Structure 1
Amino acid sequence: MSRSVTRPVELGTVPTTPLTEAVPLSLCAREPHVPADRLVAEMVPPPRFDSVRFDTYVPDPKQPSQTEAVTVLSSFAAGLGGAHATGSGRRRWFAKKPAAPAAPRGVYLDGGYGVGKTHLLASLWHATPAEPALKAFGTFVELTNLVGALGFQQTVQTLSGHRLLCIDEFELDDPGDTVLVSTLLGKLVDAGVALAATSNTLPGKLGEGRFAAADFLREIQGLSAHFRPLRIDGEDYRHRGLPEAPPPFTDEQVTKAAYATPGASLDDFPQLLEHLARVHPSRYGALTDGLRAVCLTDVRPVPDQSTALRLVVLADRLYDREIPVLAAGLPFDRLFSDEMLKGGYRKKYFRAISRLTALVRDAKGLVDQ
């Protein structure tokens, strides 16, 4: 089957083709380098969650835990309105009596994918009465990359003056991250920084099924001690009451739509997966800068777990930035093998399927029917 060839355009270059033909961009042609100051400046809720608030969260009436979460988080935000706490003064945020043992200095939103955890986390960030420069919001991957870019001590110094650190998609995939994050959060709590995180795994079970968590039990328990778990039950709101996602289009339809959509990218899916291995996941957000749509041809099963985990991060960044995805080939709910969907990363994979399916639904209007 013949197919139009993607012509990649490097960032900042000017197409030489006639103005009447929109030349698709290519993710595979991009290898962004993100300076450390941008990493810090971008620690705010992503575009999809820039305008969310507690009063825009719609709890499922069948799930009282969702309403409870709004109440608890609203009170938590209100309690962060005083002067930045240091030393023994920080206990006033969380302890009812000065003599009582220190309570967890954070909240941990646990629940399945699609129950609105990121919405609530971003709402907490917005509701906390502090200047944006005194609040930080980022994914777990972005936080660990900040340490890599700034160094551990500089990261502690940079974040210690904050009132609140929000960590989305909290996961521990290897022992090194366990020790790093445990030590970092301990330093920040000692400096009086409040913590909030989302995950699909209870803090005491982080790392379970992915590495020998028992060997790092002390670090994991230390992480758990920083948080008050807040369970949020419910079904995936992204597909609640909505029609099924459209079936995949043909390569020709996707290619035609890419050329007809200014700011769209066009890539062969297997080639994109290979390219992701050459770009650090912390740069996947920058990889999508300026895109209005992502068009993919020849979508097929993900070959291995390392590739699958990189794809999960890309799916998260596309979803955060509300970039529609138009695809030809295999439906996204068949990307991951049965073995992957039963393994330790299964919740990540189901989240990726949920988010990609929502983005596919958003892209339906790009194809002429």
Structure 2
Amino acid sequence: MPERLVDRNPVVPADQLIAQMVPPAMFDDVSFASYIPDPNEPTQADAVRIAEEFAGKVGKIRSGGKRGLFGKKSQPVGAGLYLDGGFGVGKTHLLASIYHASPEPKAFGTFVELTHVVGALGFNKALEGFSGYSVLCIDEFELDDPGDTMLVSRLLTELSQVGVSVVATSNTLPGQLGEGRFAAQDFLREIKKLGSIFESVRVDGPDYRHRDLPPAPDPISAEDLGAAAAKIEGATLDDFDELCKHLSTLHPSRYGKLIDGVPAVFLENVHAAPDQSVALRLVVLADRLYDAGTPVTVSGAKLDEIFTDEMLNGGYRKKYLRATSRLLALSRFASV
């Protein structure tokens, strides 16, 4: 009998919230050398070079500041890099490569994870926890929530003043105004106090997750879903509505722990999310599943039908399209 995610109630101790901020397992072995630039997209080769140079700056900054008149070192200011581009162009690969090439201690997480950590710990404890780090790597920096953006902007401002370098990626949509330049300008405006330390680098290209791939597999019957789940030891089988209800009882910082060790996830009776709150929780779950490389198989509606047209045309469009891209990749993985 398959297990159920709804029967899991993971707890993440406060002192582990920052310690667990490391790249997803799929990025454990990436490096600048393993990033293969698309020859048709020169911005990719440039981005690799600049990212590698940035990692070198991080090490120099952490080694100390300039010496003054009496031999006392001044406090170095952290460096900043912003990788601006669409989905699936390798920004996270470069971000993880910077993380691996930087000295300890260091942290890596999505913008959403960072806001969850600050919310769970409180601003002052989060500031204290990160202040000794060489670099803070933030994946998918989001500008759709002014409150979160300004909270993180304040955190990064104070961290940079104590020598913590910051590198962030965007979740710019392909085809957005100015081919993504609008997002870079928004980013620098919203973090205006930090704008002077950030170098913005464009990374162009198609979404590698969908290059030369067939359409997402169709959902299977409920009977076949249960049989497939039963064949995989440790796999989970949940009713979609029950899982959505369970997610509402957990802080999003616990979603990663929720799926820890699960080799495959099976969801029955999938349908469009009924409202934004449910949809946004599913976005976080999709990110954690993608980080873990966990295959997803469903019955009911297709995974690209979870977010309604109204949602996709609203303020959280970037989140929903990213989640859909990742869920489709995981569904193809499951069908291999």
TM-score (norm: length of structure 2): 0.88
Match of 1:152 among 111, 123, 131: 123
Residue 29 of structure 1 deviates from its aligned partner by: 1.6
Equivalent position SS for 1:108: strand
Q: Is the 8 A contact 1:43 1:137 kept in 2?
A: yes
- Distance in 2 between the 1:174 and 1:120 partners? 25
Counterpart for residue 111 of structure 1: 85
Counterpart for residue 289 of structure 1: 260
- Distance in 2 between the 1:88 and 1:75 partners? 20
- Pair 1:31 & 2:12 matched: no
Q: Deviation per CA, 1:263-307, whole angstroms, max 9, x where unpaired?
A: 101001122122212211111101101100000011111111221
Counterpart for residue 195 of structure 1: 166
- Distance in 1 between the 2:203 and 2:196 partners? 19
Match of 1:347 among 318, 322, 326: 318
- Distance in 2 between the 1:170 and 1:277 partners? 23
Task: Determine which structure has more spread, i.e. the larger CA radius of gyration.
Answer: 1
Equivalent position SS for 1:41: coil
Counterpart for residue 285 of structure 2: 314
- Distance in 2 between the 1:87 and 1:153 partners? 25
- Distance in 2 between the 1:246 and 1:144 partners? 34
The within-5 A match list for 1:45-124 is 45-82=23-60, 84=62, 105-124=79-98
Residue 123 of structure 1 deviates from its aligned partner by: 0.9
- Distance in 2 between the 1:146 and 1:227 partners? 23
The two structures, once aligned, show a CA RMSD in angstroms of 2.1
Match of 1:251 among 222, 247, 253: 222
Which runs of no fewer than 5 residues in structure 1 stay unpaired? 1-22, 90-101, 207-216
Q: Is the 8 A contact 1:114 1:351 kept in 2?
A: no
Residue 355 of structure 1 deviates from its aligned partner by: 0.8
- Distance in 1 between the 2:323 and 2:157 partners? 30
- Distance in 1 between the 2:200 and 2:310 partners? 29
State the identity as a percent.
57
Residue 174 of structure 1 deviates from its aligned partner by: 2.9
Which runs of no fewer than 5 residues in structure 2 stay unpaired? 68-75, 173-182
- Distance in 2 between the 1:103 and 1:41 partners? 23
Residue 86 of structure 1 deviates from its aligned partner by: 6.0
Residue 193 of structure 1 deviates from its aligned partner by: 0.7
Q: Is the 8 A contact 2:267 2:297 kept in 1?
A: yes
Q: Is the 8 A contact 2:78 2:165 kept in 1?
A: no
Equivalent position SS for 2:168: strand
* Alignment size in residue pairs: 318
- Pair 1:205 & 2:186 matched: yes
The aligned amino acid for 1:222 is: K
TM-score (norm: length of structure 1): 0.81
Match of 1:260 among 231, 236, 259: 231
Q: Is the 8 A contact 1:137 1:165 kept in 2?
A: yes
The aligned amino acid for 1:263 is: G
- Distance in 1 between the 2:301 and 2:10 partners? 28
Residue 87 of structure 1 deviates from its aligned partner by: 6.4
- Distance in 2 between the 1:185 and 1:273 partners? 33
The within-5 A match list for 1:110-189 is 110-128=84-102, 130-131=103-104, 134-189=105-160
Q: Deviation per CA, 1:49-98, whole angstroms, max 9, x where unpaired?
A: 11111122122222111111101101111222226266667xxxxxxxxx
Equivalent position SS for 2:109: strand
Q: Is the 8 A contact 1:73 1:124 kept in 2?
A: yes
- Distance in 2 between the 1:49 and 1:56 partners? 11
Counterpart for residue 213 of structure 1: none
Q: Deviation per CA, 1:161-214, whole angstroms, max 9, x where unpaired?
A: 1111101121144333233212111110000111001122425425xxxxxxxx
- Pair 1:358 & 2:310 matched: no
Equivalent position SS for 1:79: helix
Q: Is the 8 A contact 1:113 1:347 kept in 2?
A: no
